[in-house]
Amino acid sequence: MDFERFKVHGEPLIYGAMISIALATIGIIIGLTYFKKWGYLWREWLTTVDHKRIGVMYILAALLMLFRGGVDAMMMRLQTAAPEMKFLDAQHYNEVFTTHGLIMILFMAMPFIIGLMNVIVPLQIGARDVAFPRLNAVSFWLFFFGAMLLNISFVIGGSPDAGWSAYFPLASLEFSPTVGNNYYSLALQISGIGTLLTGVNFIVTILKMRAPGMKLMKMPMFIWSALLTNVIIVFAFPVLTVALALMMFDRLFGSQFFTMSNGGMDMLWANLFWVWGHPEVYIVILPAFGIYSEIIATFSKKNLYGYTSMVFSMVIISLLSFLVWAHHFYTMGQGAMVNGFFSITTMAIAVPTGVKIFNWLFTLRKGRITFTTPMLYTLAFIPIFTIGGVTGVMLAMASADYQYHNTMFLVAHFHYVLIPGAVFAVIAGFHYWFPKVFGFRLNDRLGRHAFWWIAISFNVTFFPLFLLGLMGMTRRTYTYSAETGFGPLNSLSFVGAVGLCIGFVILVYNIYWSTRYMPKDTNGDPWDGRTLEWATNSPIPAYNFAIVPKVQTRDAFWTSKVDNIPLFEEKITKIHMPSNTGKPFIMGVIFFIFGFSMVFSLWIPAILAAVGIVIVMATMSFDRDHGFYISAEEVIATEKKLRGETV
Amino acid sequence: MMKQLFPIRHVMGYLASLVLSAAALTVLYADLSDSANIVILLITALIQASLQLFLFMHIGENTETKKELYLNLAYALFVGLVTIFGTLFIFVWGWYA
């Protein structure tokens, strides 16, 4: 066998990455063995079907990927900080911006949001778990191993290097002969299947498992956003699945779907990619709208202004998200009629989004506002996102887009929507729901410290890019000469990136500090919350609710506190729980082996792994698992203990 | 006993799917006119889709989830048709000549 193709040559940075991956792996293995945690890890985490633990694993993976994607970002900003920098070469720079995009969107933003949905959705609807707990574990492990497959590409064989959108013909075998884009097609495929399953799971959960009395129009706004997000996932992801499969056929088996000859059509890739890609943007942004709605209502001490219009604007956004994709390639060659159509649908999205912005502002009006860390992120989101939105409308004008297309202006625009729209939201949600999961709050002073670093540095990093774009700097250029005059603004942007780094370091330090020093919450409701998740104990017991709540109003927990409407009326009885299973994890591992073998065209291991996948799926469908019961006495004892009473 | 357990309907459905796929393949190998090809594809696709819907996706089952099923189908149809006709709009009808 030819081992040469597994190697990545060249730079000290890549060797550094190899060594750090090896050291981290060895460190984890030694640590687990030394502290005798293998059994604990397997029993409590790898085989779990508990939605809260799966959610926590999603968020941990997302934080890890945030670090990886952040390092990529720092490398890019350093490389462009001054003219003629020699930090990265062109190839390495291509790989870095490609993986930065892929990781931040698919392996950071999405899993972070899906993690928060996992933790919060069942709690907010008063359920004991998602509809299909086992499928949930399958989703997580497919996502996780897909993400790992993409991550090892950097040190084994080479990363994808044709941009996160992997446009053909550049991404074809002819112009990208390395295995990089094979990794792209397989890693995304595997984690995409996981995401699709999540979509199915959460739609069923939200439609079928709500607490008695919770009508659709009484659901918390985060649940509405999660429902619509998952609907978009279910209808958008199949397009990606098909497109990636065609890409794989082209690259591995010599088919001609996206080639420039033999009846192939290279531009069809861009088309299919954005048919999925634009809804994808809303998949990461709609849940953020939900998170902000919860936070604004809680910290203004008011119910959300214009609930019905909020719901309808999200429904309209979710429908429109499927009608705008061509605005990503106005310059590809279609006529004015097509561009005009997609221009109008794109601008139409600004209307429901504007409705939402005004609803949030009216919720704040005359509210008793407390400036906690999550609220600060939310308040910063509104003006920053509006800048992103307005520049979005600028880009939506097809004729003007001929000027902005693929310049740094575009890069600045989508960071101005995605960072406040997704990253601020998940950080806000992280701070907001942290006490629910772990039983203590993150320190507010450190949190606010991190917030100011992040919010200010964000603008310092990305605002200059608008100007650079207007000056004519194109995206994905790895270097430029001093005569272009791009130097000073790029240096400023690098300074901002360092500030962002400091902000995230403080954020992580806050987690460490709070774990050691923050006092335990005892009543499960640290923020004086409005929705059902605050009605259980913190940390949440495995069964979530000792008694299934009865819902009568929109902010069910709030009205139960203010108007003394009882939530829990029935008696505690035994609770049925799903049992843990190791099969999803094993299936993930086999999928990883399958993906890796396919990337390198190792057919025999690929076939064996494929057979293995089918066998695991078959055994899963023939499993007879009736779950187990937690007895009423045990539930009562747990409840007392969590409330701090002596048993 | 074995007869009751054996999922004869599903096996027949599976075989029918295979036959329909093979029938659609004649478009490639038989030398027919374009319109005849399209007719073959449309008919086999329609039968195939209804086979899937009734046999494997339980659309005919009389349950309280009927509304959700049809809503789901309508949305899928919306996304599918938008993708197909949108693509035609971009690359064929609206292409800059």
**Chain A residues near any Cβ of chain B (below 8 Å):** 207, 231, 235-236, 239, 265, 267-268, 271, 275, 322-323, 325-326, 333-338, 341
Measured CA to CA, the distance from residue A91 to residue A371 in angstroms comes to 46
Nearest residue of B to residue A327 by CA position? B90
What would the two tokens of residue A51 be? 């939605």
> A207: which chain B residues are within 8 Å (Cβ-Cβ)?
68
pLDDT of residue A2: 66
pLDDT of residue A424: 96
The whole-angstrom distance between B67's CA and the closest CA on chain A is 12
- Confidence label for A639 from pLDDT (cuts 50, 70 and 90): confident
pLDDT of residue A19: 84
Peptide bond into A584 cis (omega under 30): no
| Residue contact A268–B91, C-beta within 8 A | yes
Dihedral over Cα of A404, A405, A407, A412: its sign: positive
Partner residue opposite A239 with nearest CB, options B83, B95, B97: B83
Q: Is B90 on the interface with A (CB under 8 A)?
A: yes
Alpha helices in A570-631 (DSSP H): 583-599, 603-622
Instruction: Please give the torsion angle defined by the CA atoms of residues A211, A540, A445 and A426, in that order, rounded to the nearest 10 degrees.
Output: -60
> B83: which chain A residues are within 8 Å (Cβ-Cβ)?
239, 275
The DSSP result for A344-391, as a single string, is HHHHHHHHHHHHHHHHHHHHHTT------HHHHHHHHHHHHHHHHHHH
| Residue contact A337–B87, C-beta within 8 A | no
Peptide bond into A169 cis (omega under 30): yes
Residue among B90, B92, B96 with most chain A CBs within 10 A, to mutate: B90
> A341: which chain B residues are within 8 Å (Cβ-Cβ)?
89, 94
Task: Tell whether the model's pLDDT for residue A88 goes beyond 60.
Answer: yes
Residue A542 is classified by DSSP as T
Mean pLDDT along residues A55-72: 94
Task: Tell whether the model's pLDDT for residue A196 goes beyond 80.
Answer: yes
> B68: which chain A residues are within 8 Å (Cβ-Cβ)?
207
CA distances from A184 to A317, A607, A643 (A): 29, 20, 49
Q: Is B5 on the interface with A (CB under 8 A)?
A: no
Q: Which of A412, A339, A408, A169 is nearest to A270 (CA)?
A: A169
Task: Tell whether the model's pLDDT for residue A191 goes beyond 90.
Answer: yes
What would the two tokens of residue B95 be? 């292409």
Contact A351, A319 (CB under 8 A): no
CA distances from B29 to A444, B25, B41 (A): 71, 7, 13
SS3 A577: strand
Surface-to-core class of residue B78, CB atoms within 10 Å of its CB (0-12 exposed, 13-18 middle, 19+ buried):
middle
Nearest residue of A to residue B85 by CA position? A323
- Confidence label for A646 from pLDDT (cuts 50, 70 and 90): low
Q: What is the pLDDT of residues A443-481, one digit of tens each?
A: 999 999 999 999 999 999 999 999 999 999 999 999 999
pLDDT of residue A617: 93
Partner residue opposite A207 with nearest CB, options B68, B83, B89: B68
Global pTM value = 0.94
Range from A13-17, A284-288, A521-525 that averages highest in pLDDT: A284-288
The whole-angstrom distance between B15's CA and the closest CA on chain A is 20
* Comparison of pLDDT for A124 and A38, the residue scoring more: A124
- Confidence label for B83 from pLDDT (cuts 50, 70 and 90): very high
Task: Tell whether the model's pLDDT for residue A313 goes beyond 90.
Answer: yes
- Confidence label for A122 from pLDDT (cuts 50, 70 and 90): very high
Partner residue opposite B79 with nearest CB, options A322, A335, A338: A322
ipTM: 0.85
Q: Which of A463, A644, A529, A507 is nearest to A220 (CA)?
A: A529
The DSSP result for A447-507, as a single string, is HHHHHHHHHHHHHHHHHHHHHHHHHTPBTT-----GGGS-HHHHHHHHHHHHHHHHHHHHH
Task: Tell whether the model's pLDDT for residue B72 goes beyond 80.
Answer: yes
Other CB atoms within a 10 A radius of the CB of residue A505 amount to 12
* Comparison of pLDDT for B71 and A197, the residue scoring more: A197
Partner residue opposite A271 with nearest CB, options B78, B90, B94: B90
pLDDT of residue A32: 84
Contact A192, A146 (CB under 8 A): yes
| Residue contact B89–A341, C-beta within 8 A | yes
Q: Which of A18, A50, A97 is nearest to A408 (CA)?
A: A97
Q: Which of A498, A110, A453 is nearest to A283 (CA)?
A: A110
> A231: which chain B residues are within 8 Å (Cβ-Cβ)?
75
Structural element, H or E, at residue A430:
helix A424-438
- Confidence label for A10 from pLDDT (cuts 50, 70 and 90): low
**DSSP strand pairing (A628-630 vs A575-577):** antiparallel
Q: How many CB pairs under 8 A join A and B?
A: 44
Alpha helices in chain B (DSSP H): 2-5, 8-29, 34-51, 66-88
> A235: which chain B residues are within 8 Å (Cβ-Cβ)?
75-76, 79
pLDDT of residue B97: 63
Tokens 């060659």 locate to A333
Residue A568's φ and ψ, nearest 5 degrees, are: -110, 105
In SS3 terms, A625-642 reads as CCCEEECHHHHHHHHHHH
Instruction: Compute the half-sphere exposure of residue A140: CA atoms within 13 Å on the CB side of its CA.
Output: 35
Partner residue opposite B82 with nearest CB, options A268, A322, A334: A322
Tokens 């009484």 locate to A218
Q: What is the pLDDT of residues A257-276, one digit of tens each?
A: 999 888 889 999 999 999 99
Partner residue opposite A334 with nearest CB, options B79, B82, B90: B90
SS3 A9: coil
SS3 A276: helix
Q: What is the pLDDT of residues A222-262, one digit of tens each?
A: 999 999 999 999 999 999 999 999 999 999 999 999 998 88
Indicate the residue type of B40.
I
For A3-581+625-642, give the CATH class.
Answer: mainly alpha
Nearest residue of B to residue A273 by CA position? B83
Indicate the residue type of A428.
A
Task: Tell whether the model's pLDDT for residue B11 goes beyond 90.
Answer: no
Measured CA to CA, the distance from residue A283 to residue A117 in angstroms comes to 12
Partner residue opposite A235 with nearest CB, options B75, B95, B96: B75
Q: What is the pLDDT of residues A396-435, one digit of tens each?
A: 999 999 999 999 999 999 999 999 999 999 999 999 999 9
> B87: which chain A residues are within 8 Å (Cβ-Cβ)?
268, 271, 275
Residue among B28, B64, B75, B83 with most chain A CBs within 10 A, to mutate: B83
pLDDT of residue A117: 96
The domain ranges of chain A are 3-581+625-642
Residue A330's φ and ψ, nearest 5 degrees, are: -55, -30
pLDDT of residue A94: 93
Task: Tell whether the model's pLDDT for residue A647 goes beyond 60.
Answer: no
Contact A83, A481 (CB under 8 A): yes
> B91: which chain A residues are within 8 Å (Cβ-Cβ)?
265, 267-268, 271, 334
Nearest residue of A to residue B77 by CA position? A235
Mean pLDDT of the residues in chain A: 92
pLDDT of residue A37: 84
Partner residue opposite A333 with nearest CB, options B75, B89, B96: B96
What spatial distance separates the first Cα and last Cα of chain A, rounded to whole Å? 65
| Residue contact A341–B97, C-beta within 8 A | no
CA A226 to chain CA centroid, Å, is: 13
Q: Is B85 on the interface with A (CB under 8 A)?
A: no
Residue A42 is classified by DSSP as I
Task: Tell whether the model's pLDDT for residue A346 goes beyond 80.
Answer: yes
Residue A104 is classified by DSSP as I
Q: What is the pLDDT of residues A515-566, one digit of tens each?
A: 999 988 878 889 999 999 999 888 888 899 989 999 988 888 999 988 888 8
The whole-angstrom distance between B83's CA and the closest CA on chain A is 7
Structural element, H or E, at residue A575:
strand A575-577
| Residue contact B91–A334, C-beta within 8 A | yes
| Residue contact A239–B86, C-beta within 8 A | no
Q: Is B56 on the interface with A (CB under 8 A)?
A: no
Residue among A200, A275, A622 with most chain B CBs within 10 A, to mutate: A275
- Confidence label for A21 from pLDDT (cuts 50, 70 and 90): confident
What spatial distance separates the first Cα and last Cα of chain B, rounded to whole Å? 67
Task: Tell whether the model's pLDDT for residue A1 goes beyond 60.
Answer: no
- Confidence label for A388 from pLDDT (cuts 50, 70 and 90): very high
Residue A421 is classified by DSSP as I
The whole-angstrom distance between B86's CA and the closest CA on chain A is 8
> B85: which chain A residues are within 8 Å (Cβ-Cβ)?
none
